[in-house]
Amino acid sequence: MVYYTEKRQVMDWQIWAAVLPVIAGIVGVWVNLNSTVARLKSRVMQLEISQDEFKQIAKELLISIHKIEIMLAKMEKE
């Protein structure tokens, strides 16, 4: 009976020795994925802000070009 208990304790230790690295690996992958997703979300937000700024600048540029076209048209009439 003592042999059975000792064998069980050794098996329990071996099971934990095999399972703990797997659990640690899963947690590590989860943490890494979460940090990567957070970094990508931040980058997407920055790109969206940059895109909005670019759209605003392009709109202002287009308005200025139209004003120049109108001024040229007036100059040609005279």
What is the DSSP-derived secondary structure letter of residue 36? Answer: H
Could you tell me the two tokens for 55?
A: 């759209």
Listed in sequence order, the DSSP H helices in the chain are: 2-77
Residues 20-42: tens digit of each pLDDT: 999 999 999 999 999 999 999 99
Please determine, for residue 4, whether its predicted confidence score (pLDDT) is greater than 80.
no
Q: How far is 33 from 39, CA to CA, in rounded Å?
A: 10
Q: How confident is the model at residue 1 (pLDDT cuts 50, 70, 90)?
A: very low
Please determine, for residue 17, whether its predicted confidence score (pLDDT) is greater than 70.
yes
Cα first-last separation, the chain: 115
Residues 52-74: tens digit of each pLDDT: 999 999 999 999 999 999 999 99
Please determine, for residue 3, whether its predicted confidence score (pLDDT) is greater than 60.
no
Angle at 13 between CA 12 and CA 18, to 5 degrees: 100
